[in-house]
Structure 1
Amino acid sequence: MTDCHRIDVHHHILPPNYVDIVGDDRIGPLILAGKTPEWTPQMSIEAMDRNGIQTALTSISAPGLWFGDTQETVDLCRHCNEYAA
């Protein structure tokens, strides 16, 4: 059997400024543990390595990016996209 190339198609990231801008009070209650998880790119890579994952398609976790203000959303989306790039 050949080695397969595993792809994680549901891989959440939490850019640092996203947490600062959105706030723990908005993120934490939506997470199973009830608090904003610690996250770093290194932790993410280590988890991928442990599980034999070579590629991840990333997205922002709950509560997302829309909070009722168009310009705030544009700025937050740009920040998150540039961070992920």
Structure 2
Amino acid sequence: MKIELRYFASVREALNRSGETVDVPDGVATVGDVRAWLRVRGGIWAETLAEGRALRMACNHEMTGAGTRITEGCEVAFFPPVTGG
């Protein structure tokens, strides 16, 4: 399944990218699964998206929790709890 990923604020700065299009493997079915799958990349990915780290998530422009199911072509975003203007 192909999805769009977006990274904002300090997450974008840490990962050195604002977004990407990815094909998620079988078994990645929720926003939380996407986060865990990205952590497997290791290094800064594991640190920035760590399980205990405060991080907000959205799916198709709506704030969501880890259990929200993803669908083909959806957009998943990660960002810190507070972003400034």
> Could you state the TM-score of these two structures normalised by the residue count of structure 2?
0.30
Structure 1 or 2, whichever has the larger Rg, is 1
More helix by share: 1
Q: Give the number of the structure with larger relative contact order, counting CA–CA contacts within 8 Å between residues 6 or more apart.
A: 1
